[in-house]
Amino acid sequence: MTKSRRRTIRRTPPTRLARPASARPIASPAPRRAGDVNDAFFRYIVAGMRNGVLALTREGNLALINDEACRIFGIAPRRTDLGRPIGDVLRDHPEVVRLLNSVFELHLLPNRAELRLRPSGKVLGYTLALVGDDAGRVVGASMFFKDLTRVEQLEERERLRDRLAAVGEMAAAIAHEVKNPLAGIEVMAGLLRRRITDAPDAQSVLTDIISEAKMANAIVQEVLEFVRPIRLQVERTAVADAVQSAVQLADTKARRGDISVDVRVPRGLPLIHGDQYQLAQLFTNLLINAYEAMEGRGRITITVRTIRVDDGFEGRDAVVVELADRGPGMPPDVADRVFNPFFTTKPQGSGLGLAIVRKIVDAHDGSIDLETAPGRGTLIRVTLPVSGSEEGA
Ligand SMILES: Nc1ncnc2c1ncn2[C@@H]1O[C@H](COP(=O)(O)OP(=O)(O)OP(=O)(O)O)[C@@H](O)[C@H]1O
Ligand SMILES: [Mg+2]
């Protein structure tokens, strides 16, 4: 799975290890409680927290885990997991296990650090603390964490927007300057070709000049089109219809050969507030890339479904479109750059296809990510929020 790979980043300096109470001159008193606050009340607090909470014993066994932690780690909450080694319970998250196993040896415990879960790609913001008993002995450790994936995505999108704005301004200025001389070359070469009817060799050179100038002009138009801000014609839109139009549109723009396209759409999908034309454009670009990658053979599967997206508040419904091809896939250094404008590995490519896709997805307040590896094909997932309370299509 390829997402933008990021190392563990520390946002704030790590806090110095809080010494257990025994190391202090006077043992700190146990927390005060009101008369009707019992242990069950504390359990309810932890269970109801909107952050993930997990604790382990000094021996490395799970002592406590709340529902939010289970949700973030993608595990089912099971009482029988309590007391089991943390390495068993979180076997799908070796990076977390490594971190927790090292907690008793660390001199500085990370505070507000981040780590990325593989394979889900979720980004966690976490704090680690030691648990000391009344006598001040370290009896365990706790981890307090939050799923920052959405925050990260928004920051990433913001960074990309800034980058696009800078690149866009420059590209628009150059394209604008180049447009007129190009038109001049094309017109003058045409005039010359008409004057030298008796020199077929020179005519053929001029024909080449004209066609190259036309191609350059098409690129300039594409760049200008790309840098122009998108103005959505928003209407109640069936995403599945945009996908179907894209299948037809892609056939007019690229060679499909013997590739079959399997579109799977469940009944009763909600309508979204979107621009049918732009969405069709988006899926067309994805299909063209898949056709080009598969070189005339194989099957593409497009699956449409609804999901509930965690937005850090009450959650919202979204329509997800997954387009999976069985092409050659991409190595990580390519996958990390595919959405950058002008990035291409194709001799004739402009490298704007996926940059435009991203721009359209952003304009719909959606998100896009890809899973790919050499030899394993490519899956592109577009998530488009259903705004308002639109009902079945
Ligand atoms: N389905 C895919 N399988 C393999 N590689 C892909 C796929 N989609 C995109 N890529 C890679 O991402 C690069 C960028 O794609 P993008 O659509 O932005 O530009 P392009 O296809 O090269 O040119 P353009 O779309 O402007 O004609 C491609 O050159 C290719 O290397
Ligand atoms: Mg393309």
Cβ of 345 closer than 6 Å to ligand 1, yes or no, is: yes
Q: How far is the CA of 341 from the centre of ligand 1 (A)?
A: 11
Confidence of residue 98 (pLDDT cuts 50, 70, 90): very high
CB-proximal residues (5 Å) to ion ligand 2:
289, 353
Q: What pLDDT score does 176 carry?
A: 82
* pLDDT-derived band at 206, boundaries 50, 70, 90: very high
d(CA 103, CA 94): 14
For ligand 1, whether the C-beta of 325 sits within 6 Å is: yes
Band of the pLDDT at 172, cuts 50, 70, 90? Answer: confident
Between 12-21, 255-264, 271-280, 309-318, the lowest mean confidence (pLDDT) is in 12-21
Global pTM exceeds 0.75: no
Q: What percent of the chain has pLDDT over 90?
A: 55
- pLDDT at position 19, please? 41
pLDDT band at 238 (very low <50, low <70, confident <90, very high): very high
Task: Report the alpha-carbon distance of residue 377 to residue 337 in Å, rounded.
Answer: 17
Alpha-carbon distances, residue 112 vs 12, 31, 124 (angstroms): 6, 24, 9
So what's the pLDDT on residue 357? 94
More confident: 350 or 2: 350
Q: Mean pLDDT, the chain, as a whole number?
A: 85
pLDDT reported for residue 86: 94
Whether the CB of 334 sits within 6 Å of ligand 1: yes
Distance CA 2, CA 7 (A): 14
| Bigger pLDDT: 251 vs 158 | 251
Q: Is the CB of residue 142 below 6 angstroms from any atom belonging to ligand 1? A: no
Provide the H-helix boundaries in the chain. Answer: 39-48, 67-73, 86-89, 94-101, 149-195, 200-227, 239-253, 276-294, 332-335, 353-363
Rounded distance, CA 335 to CA 4, Å? 8
Question: Is the CB–ligand 1 distance for residue 315 below 6 Å?
Answer: no
pLDDT of residue 314: 64
Ligand 1 centroid – CA 293 distance (Å): 8
Q: Is 378 in the pocket of ligand 1 (CB under 6 A)?
A: yes
- Closest residue to atom 8 of ligand 1, CA basis: 289
360-377 average pLDDT score: 92
Strand 62-65 versus strand 123-132 pairing type: unpaired
Name the closest ligand to CA 222: 1
Domains, the chain: 15-147 (3.30.450.20), 152-227 (1.10.287), 235-385 (3.30.565.10)
Of 7-21, 71-85, 252-266, 359-373, the range with the lowest mean pLDDT is: 7-21
Q: Is 80 exceeded by the pLDDT of residue 16?
A: no
pLDDT at res. 262: 96
| pLDDT reading at 320 higher than 70 | yes
pLDDT score recorded for residue 70: 93
pLDDT over 60 at 9, yes or no: no
* Residue 353 in contact with ligand 1 by CB distance below 6 A: yes
- Evaluate if residue 315 carries a pLDDT over 90: no
pLDDT confidence of 97, banded at 50, 70, 90? very high
Task: Please give the backbone phi and psi of residue 315, each rounded to the nearest 5 degrees, phi first.
Answer: 85, 160
Q: Percent of the chain at pLDDT above 70?
A: 87
Tokens of 79: 């009482």
